[in-house]
């Protein structure tokens, strides 16, 4: 299983290129418009057939290159059905499966950051988007987010995975690149060590964050696959 983590410094976004090396079928998760040329070159150099551009959610901080990837590679764009993304080729729901060769990508609906979050699991790895970050989690104060919903998504659907599962997040602001289910269950600052739902909601209610700079163009732009 090929997995390559890529970073967009301006928005601290992680993009992932994953592939089944037997068939060369590949997917890109959360590609960023400004990194389109970098990512296309990498896909071409590695000789992959890009089958999917997968979005963990409708991003509020950057614009996707999923539509441009489709134009380039005839790949299919997939988001959760709650996204309202009319541009999508595939609208996913919980437990839907996609394949790369004989490998299965499972879509796990993990709402709470927004109402349309998907974590993608494959081969002992889970790509958690903004639902769960290393020692951290996504905010819950717009795009139909809900702290109570996120609490249950993480506890019921991520922390219930095998504890050795690698977690690859959608962002990072501290210099972390990855974690494991075991680590986050113990050490996540907002959700770990058995934090109760009330404790989590209090933390989230007091974050006092300003809106993402690009939210006004990003959300409509991403519902249109960045085109």
Residues in touch with a second copy (CB under 8 A) = 4-9, 15, 35, 38, 45-46, 172, 174-178, 183, 186-187
Distance CA 107, CA 93 (A): 7
* Closest to a second copy by CB, 4 or 195: 4
Return d(Cα 136, Cα 131) in angstroms, integer: 9
- The minimum distance between CB 86 and a second copy, in angstroms, equals 30
The enclosing H or E element of 27 equals strand 25-29
Cα distances from 216 to residues 31, 62, 212, in angstroms, run: 19, 10, 9
Q: Compare residues 27 and 98 and give the one whose CB is closer to a second copy.
A: 27
Q: How far is the CB of 167 from a second copy (least distance, A)?
A: 12
Sign of the alpha-carbon dihedral angle for 174, 149, 160, 97: negative
Smallest separation, CB 83 to a second copy (Å): 25
Residue 205 near residue 197 (C-beta atoms within 8 A): no
d(CA 60, CA 221): 9
Question: In the complex with a second copy, which residue's Cβ is closer, 152 or 166?
Answer: 166
Complex with a second copy: residue 130 or 172, whichever CB lies closer: 172
* Minimal distance, residue 68 CB to a second copy, in Å: 17
Closer to a second copy by Cβ: residue 5 or 49 = 5
Closest separation in Å from C-beta 45 to a second copy: 5
Nearer to a second copy, 65 or 149 (CB): 65
* List of residues 6+ apart from 76 with CB closer than 8 A: 51, 52, 53, 70, 89, 90
Q: Which residues pair with 132 in a beta bridge?
A: 137
Residue with Cβ nearer a second copy (6 or 118): 6
The half-sphere exposure of 86 on its side-chain side, counting CA atoms within 13 A, is 3
What does each C-alpha distance from 146 to 110, 121, 143, 167, 211 come to in angstroms?
Answer: 11, 23, 9, 22, 16
Residue 175 CB, shortest distance to a second copy, in Å, is: 4
Q: Give min distance, CB of 62 to a second copy, in A.
A: 13
Report the distance separating Cα 151 and Cα 159, nearest Å. 11
């Amino acid at each position: 299983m090929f997995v390559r983590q890529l970073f967009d410094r301006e928005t601290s976004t992680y993009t992932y290129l994953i592939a089944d090396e037997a068939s060369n079928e590949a997917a890109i998760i959360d590609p960023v418009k400004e990194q389109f040329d970098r990512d296309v070159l990498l896909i071409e150099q590695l000789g992959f057939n890009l089958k999917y551009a997968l979005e963990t959610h409708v991003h509020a901080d950057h614009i996707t290159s999923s539509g441009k990837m489709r134009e380039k590679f005839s790949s299919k764009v997939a988001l959760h059905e709650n996204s309202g993304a009319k541009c999508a080729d595939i609208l996913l729901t919980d437990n839907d499966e996609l394949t790369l060769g004989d490998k299965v990508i499972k879509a796990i609906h993990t709402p709470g950051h927004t109402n349309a979050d998907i974590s993608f699991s494959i081969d002992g790895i889970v790509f958690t988007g903004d639902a769960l970050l290393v020692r951290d989690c996504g905010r819950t104060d717009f795009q139909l987010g809900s702290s109570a919903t996120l609490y249950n998504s993480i506890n019921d659907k991520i922390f219930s995975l095998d504890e050795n599962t690698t977690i690859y997040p959608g962002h990072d602001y501290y210099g972390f690149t990855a974690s494991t289910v075991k680590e986050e269950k113990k050490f996540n600052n907002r959700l770990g060590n058995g934090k109760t739902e009330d404790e989590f909601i209090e933390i989230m209610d007091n974050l006092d964050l300003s809106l993402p700079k690009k939210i006004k163009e990003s959300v409509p732009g991403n519902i249109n696959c960045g085109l």
